[in-house]
Structure 1
Amino acid sequence: MKKYVLDVLLGCLLMAVGCKDGQKEGNIQDVQENAASQKETITIMHIDAEVPGFLEFIEQAEKELDLEIQVVSCPANADIRQAKISTILAAGETSVDIFSVNDEMVSEFKYKGYLEPLNDRVMTEELLSKYPESYMQNITMKDGEVYSVPYFMDIMVFWINREMTGDRKIQTQEDFLALLEEDWGKGIYGYASAWDNTYVYNELSEFINLFGGDYYNWDNKNTREALTFLHDMAAKGQIPVSQMADQYEQMQQKFIDGKYASIFMYSGAMDVFERAGVYSEDKIQAVPLPQFEKSVTNIATWQYVLNQASEHKSGAMKFLKYAAGREGSISYAECMNRLPARLDIILEEELDIPGFEVLQDYVEHVELKERPFSKNTMKDISAIGTLFQKYMLDEISQDEFCRKAQAIVDGF
C-alpha cells in the first residue's frame, strides 16, 4: 500500500511538470530505492560476526523476516568482551539492539537492569518447555522473568585425536588414566586443558561432576577427590604447566597440532575443527563421555539478549522469535555446525552437523548440568581460578584452597 501511494504521487508530480519518459523511469527507480531503504534495521553484536557460516544464517534471516540486519563483532577475549558489552549496556547506548552473550554475562547482566524481559513476546511457557528446565531457571531467568534466548547449546564432550590414539577406546576412568600415564614424547601429552584463571572453572566443575561432587560444598569427599585427581596430573607432569596461561583458542590449536591426544571441550568447537579440516575418522573426533563415578557433564549456551535501551525493539523481537523458532534454530545449527539450544529439535531432527549422532547421544544418555554462577560472575570465577592455580603449583594446600573457595561460593 505504501509503495502504491508513493507511485501515484510520483506519477501526478511527473505529469504536472511534463517530465520525459526517461526522467520518469529514473525518478520512479529513485523513489522505489528510497522506499526499500526504509526497511527496518537492527544491529547485532555477535561473537561469530566474522564467521562465513553465521553471515549465511543472517542472510537467510533477512530474507525470511524482511529486515536489514547489521552485524558487528565483539572482542574474542572473554574479559575484554564482557567489559565492552557491559559498558554499552550500562551507558544506555542505543547503537546495538541485540547482543550474543554467554552464561557468564547473562548471569550478571540480568541483575543489573540492562536487559529487556522476553516472556510475553518471545519466551512463552510453551517455548520454555523446549529447553533444559533447570538450565533456563538458573541461568536465563530472574524472579520469573526470562532475559535471554539461547540459540546454541554447548555440551562439554570428550574429544580424541585418532592419529595419536588409534582405535583405542576411552570408556572408563582407568582408560583415561592410561592416556595420562603413557609416554607420548617430549612436549606431547595424553590429555590437556585450558587452565587460565578465567577458564579453569570449566575443567574444575567438569571433574567435580564426573566424580559426583558438589561445586557448592568443598568439604564433600567427592569434590575433594576431583581436586586430588587434578592436582596429581600436574604433580606427575601428566599435563603441561604452561596450560595455566591457555584459554580455549590456544588449547584448540595445540590439539589440532597434535600436542594432545585428548581434551574435554565444548561441542561448539566442532565448527572450529570442521573449518580447519581436521574433524574426520582418522583425526579429531567427539566420542562418548568416559564413565567415572557419574555420567554428568557441563552444558552452556550462547544466547541473545535485548538491550533495554534499544530503539528498534519491534524488529529485534521479530529476529528473536525467528532465532528461537524451529526454522531459525535449524538454520543456525546447520550453517554453523553446532547444536541448537532446543532439546526437542536435537532429539527429533536429523541435523546436517558433523558428529551429530554422538552429540545427540550425549543429550539422550548423559545428565546435562548448568555451571554454577554468582551475581558477580567474572570476579568470582577469576578468584577461584587464581586459587586453583596456586593449589596446582603447591603454593597453598588443598585445605586452604577449599576453605577460601567455600567462602566465595557461600556468597553466590
Structure 2
Amino acid sequence: MKSVWKKGLKVMMLTALPLSAAALTACGNSQQTSSSATNQSSNNKVIKVAYQQFGAPPIWSEEWLKKAKAGFEKDHKGVNIQLEPIQASENDFYTKIDLMMKSEGTAPDVVTEDTFLINSDASAGYLSPLNDYVNKWSDWSQFSDAMKAGSTGSDGNVYGVPYSTDTRGIWYNVNLFKKAGLPVPFAPKNWDDVLTAAKTIKEKAPGVIPFWAQVGKATGEATTMQTFEMLLYGTNDTLYDDSSKKWVVKSQGFLDSLNFIHTLYSTGLGPQLSQVLNGQAGNTESQQLMPKEQIAMALDGNWVPGSWQKGGAAAWPDGTKTYQLAAMPTQNGQSPGFTSMSGGWALSISKLAKNKDLAAQFIEYAVNKENDQWYDVHQGNLSPRNDVAADPDYANAPGQAFAAATQFTKFTHFRPANPQYPSVSTAIQTAVESVATGAATPQQAMDQYAADVQRIVGASNTVTK
C-alpha cells in the first residue's frame, strides 16, 4: 500500500483520550505493551483493524499487521486482534472505509488512513483525536515533526500515528540509458532534459516505454500526486495559496504541467492508454514491465522496489542495480533545483470504536521501532521514526533506495492540509486524464478544472494567478 499511498513524507500522526495506568506502563516500552494489569483488564476484548488488501501477495501491510497481532496477543492475554481486510483499489477503499466508520455496527477500532484524508475524515466526524494518548507516549518524540503535522487536523488535534512516508522521483533503467547513449547516473536539470532523454529512448530503444506516468482517474491519488503535483510543485505555482487561503484554479504552472502530460502522451513518449487507465496500472508498472526492462523512466515513489524484495510479488534481487532513483528537476532548474512530493499512511482510531484505550495500545505496539522498521524495509517505504531512519540496518537495506529517497526530503512538498482536498484531487484526476486521452486540450482541461473547483469550494474561495 502506498500513499497515492499509495502511495507521499505519504505525512501522519496521532492524538486523543486519556491513558489508564496499565496503558502508561505499556507506553514506557516501545518493544512491549503488556503488564499484569493490562492482561487482567483486557480479557475477552476484540480490536477490529481495517486495512486495504490490494495487489499480488505478499501484501506487506497485511504481513506487518499479522506480525503485530501475534506479538500483541501474546502480551495481552484475552485480547483478540481481528484483522479486517478490505479488498479494493485505492479510491474504492476510501469509499468503503468511510461507509464502515459511519455505523456502530461496522466501525473498526483501528483503521489505516492515507494521510491526505485525515483532515476530511476528522472533519466528517469519523476519527477520534489522539492527543491524550500520544502526549503520554514516550515514543512520540521519535516521530519527525513533518510526519506529526501530516496527521494533525485543521482543528489542531492529532488523528493518526504514521507508520510510513515517502518521496518521489524518476526511476531510470541504467541498461537502457547506456544503450541509448544517455549519461549514467542520470541527473536532469530541468524538464527539457527529461523530455530529451525520453525522445532519445524512443529513437534508440524502440519498443520500450520512454516515460511512465500515471494519468488515469482509476489510479486516484497516484495520478494527482505522483504525476500532476510532482510537475506543478516544480513550477513557480502551487495548488493552494496559504496566504489568501484560496485554491489556485488557474496559473501558468498549472497549464505548463498539463502541457508536459500532453507532450508525453501525444508524441508516444508515454505508455499505451490501455496500460494506465485502470486501477492496476501501478502493479503493471512495477511488477510486470519494470522487471522485464520495458520502461526506461518512471515517475514514481521510493517504495517501488518493495515488490522486488525476496518473497515479494515480483522478486528481483538486482532490481535497484538496474533501476536507480534520480531527483525530479524543477521546470527550469530554478531553486531549489529539484522537487518531490511526500505523503504517507497512519493508524487512526474511529470515532465509534468500542475499545479506544486498547486500540491506542495496539497502535503503539504496531509502530514501535522494531515493527515499524520491519514494515518499511519490506514495503520499501520511508520510516516516519527518527530512530529507524538512523539505524544502519535500515539505511543500508539491500534492494532499496532509502539513502537517495531520504535526501529528497530536503525539497519535498506536502498536499494542502485542507478537508476539501480530496474533492479537488478528483477534479485534478479528471483534468489529467482528459489531456492524456486527447479529450481536451491543456487549456480546456484547466478551464473545466477551474469551473469544477469553484463549484466544490465556492468561487470566492478560489484565485487565478
Q: Normalized against structure 1, the TM-score is what?
A: 0.79
Rounded Cα–Cα distance in structure 2 between residues aligned with 1:329 and 1:90: 29
Q: How does 1:142-153 map to 2 (within 5 A)?
A: 142-153=154-165
Give the match for residue 318 of structure 1.
Answer: 361
Give the match for residue 170 of structure 1.
Answer: 186
Give the match for residue 270 of structure 2.
Answer: 239
Q: How does 1:6-405 map to 2 (within 5 A)?
A: 38=43, 40-47=45-52, 51=59, 53-54=63-64, 55-63=66-74, 67-93=79-105, 96-122=108-134, 130-131=142-143, 133=145, 136-137=148-149, 139-166=151-178, 168-172=184-188, 173=190, 175-181=193-199, 182-183=201-202, 187-197=207-217, 198=220, 199-202=222-225, 203-216=227-240, 217-242=248-273, 243-246=275-278, 247-252=281-286, 253-274=288-309, 275=312, 276-280=314-318, 284-292=322-330, 293=333, 294-343=337-386, 345-347=388-390, 350-351=393-394, 353-355=397-399, 358-365=401-408, 366-372=410-416, 374-405=418-449
Q: 1:94 to 1:218 in 2, by over 3 A?
A: closer
> 8 Å contact 1:115–1:307 — kept in the other structure?
yes
Aligned amino acid, residue 441 of structure 2: S
Aligned amino acid, residue 59 of structure 1: A
> 8 Å contact 1:117–1:146 — kept in the other structure?
yes
- Higher normalized contact order (CA 8 Å, seq sep 6+, divided by chain length): 2
Q: 1:409 to 1:156 in 2, by over 3 A?
A: farther
Please list the CA deviations of residues 155-195 of structure 1 after superposition, one character each: whole Å capped at 9, or x if unmatched. Answer: 22322333433473220135423331022655421211221
Greater C-alpha radius of gyration = 1
Please list the CA deviations of residues 292-340 of structure 1 after superposition, one character each: whole Å capped at 9, or x if unmatched. Answer: 3332211111111111211122221111222344344324334544322
> 8 Å contact 1:151–1:329 — kept in the other structure?
yes
> 8 Å contact 2:73–2:81 — kept in the other structure?
yes
> 8 Å contact 2:261–2:432 — kept in the other structure?
no
Please list the CA deviations of residues 201-229 of structure 1 after superposition, one character each: whole Å capped at 9, or x if unmatched. Answer: 12000111233431233544344333322
What is the Cα deviation at residue 405 of structure 1?
2.7
> 8 Å contact 1:206–1:297 — kept in the other structure?
yes
Q: Normalized against structure 2, the TM-score is what?
A: 0.71
Structure with the higher helix share, 1 or 2: 1
Q: 1:405 to 1:46 in 2, by over 3 A?
A: same
> 8 Å contact 2:232–2:253 — kept in the other structure?
yes
Q: 1:269 to 1:40 in 2, by over 3 A?
A: farther
Please list the CA deviations of residues 121-140 of structure 1 after superposition, one character each: whole Å capped at 9, or x if unmatched. Answer: 12569866654545543553
Structure 2 stretches lacking a partner, 5+ long: 1-39, 241-247
> 8 Å contact 1:41–1:315 — kept in the other structure?
no
Please list the CA deviations of residues 377-406 of structure 1 after superposition, one character each: whole Å capped at 9, or x if unmatched. Answer: 544322221122223344333333323334
Name the count of aligned residue pairs: 377
> 8 Å contact 1:278–1:284 — kept in the other structure?
no
Aligned amino acid, residue 70 of structure 2: E
Rounded Cα–Cα distance in structure 1 between residues aligned with 2:271 and 2:372: 38
What is the Cα deviation at residue 240 of structure 1?
2.4
Structure 1 stretches lacking a partner, 5+ long: 1-34
CA RMSD of the aligned region, Å? 3.3
Q: 1:337 to 1:229 in 2, by over 3 A?
A: closer
> 8 Å contact 1:103–1:302 — kept in the other structure?
yes
